């Protein structure tokens, strides 16, 4: 006959009264682990520790003092030094340049374009620029980064930046402000 909980007593209370029974493999494993730890402790308690203290000052002085033992020197074969990568040569005449004036200085773009042409750059246009530019800048597309840096050096412009917005991706763009070198 099955026993059902009485209407006034909840079923969960009956489970609480029984307690928790651990499975026998878990109990056996725990007893075995404690026994192994005890045996290891008793067997190793009289032995000296195997760790050693390493003093870095002693090691450093040992490295600097000559050793009493003869050492064999291995003939060093000279290793070839890696050749530095040659910097790409910028061919000024093959790179197009546009010059824009973003200052109130009349003729600044034409003056800078003439200066760039005189150094060997292929200036293909000059005009006025509408917008806010913090300082005179040479803008370059990714493949012309080295050329952009060289153009900035040639003209004395301190700032270079990647091309943005409506700038053409096949040429360098110079936008001049009132701080442009003259």
pLDDT digits (tens, 9 = 90+) for 18-68: 666 667 887 888 889 999 888 888 877 776 655 556 565 555 555 555 554
- What distance lies between CA 15 and its chain's CA centroid? 59
Q: Which of 89, 102, 84, 94 is nearest to 150 (CA)?
A: 89
Q: Rounded to an integer, what distance in angstroms lies between the CA atom of residue 95 and that of residue 102?
A: 22
Residues 139/148, Cβ–Cβ less than 8 Å: yes
pLDDT of residue 163: 95
> Is the whole-model pTM more than 0.75?
no
pLDDT of residue 177: 94
Which pLDDT tens digits describe the chain residue by residue (182 residues)? 555 555 555 555 555 566 666 678 878 888 899 998 888 888 777 766 555 565 655 555 555 555 545 555 555 555 567 676 666 688 999 999 999 999 989 999 999 999 999 999 999 999 999 989 999 999 999 999 999 999 999 999 999 999 998 999 999 999 999 998 87
pLDDT of residue 90: 86
Q: Which of 91, 88, 95 is nearest to 174 (CA)?
A: 95
135: three-class secondary structure by DSSP:
coil
pLDDT of residue 12: 53
Pairing between strand 171-176 and 137-140? antiparallel
pLDDT of residue 42: 81
- What distance lies between CA 179 and its chain's CA centroid? 34
């Amino acid at each position: 006959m099955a026993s059902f909980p009485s209407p006034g007593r909840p079923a969960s209370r009956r489970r609480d009264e029984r307690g928790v029974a651990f499975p026998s493999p878990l109990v056996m494993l725990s007893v075995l682990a404690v026994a192994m730890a005890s045996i290891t402790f008793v067997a190793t308690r009289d032995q000296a520790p195997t760790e050693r203290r390493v003093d870095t000052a002693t090691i450093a002085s040992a490295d600097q003092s000559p050793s009493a033992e003869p050492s064999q020197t291995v003939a060093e074969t000279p290793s070839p030094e890696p050749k530095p990568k040659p910097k790409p040569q910028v061919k000024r005449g093959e790179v197009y340049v546009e010059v824009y004036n973003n200052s109130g200085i009349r003729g600044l773009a034409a003056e800078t374009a003439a200066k760039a042409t005189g150094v060997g750059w292929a200036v293909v246009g000059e005009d006025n620029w509408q917008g806010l530019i913090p300082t005179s800048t040479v803008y370059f597309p990714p493949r012309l980064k080295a050329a952009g840096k060289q153009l900035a050096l040639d003209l004395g412009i301190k700032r270079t930046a990647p091309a943005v917005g409506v700038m053409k991706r096949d040429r360098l763009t110079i936008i001049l402000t009132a701080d442009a070198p003259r």
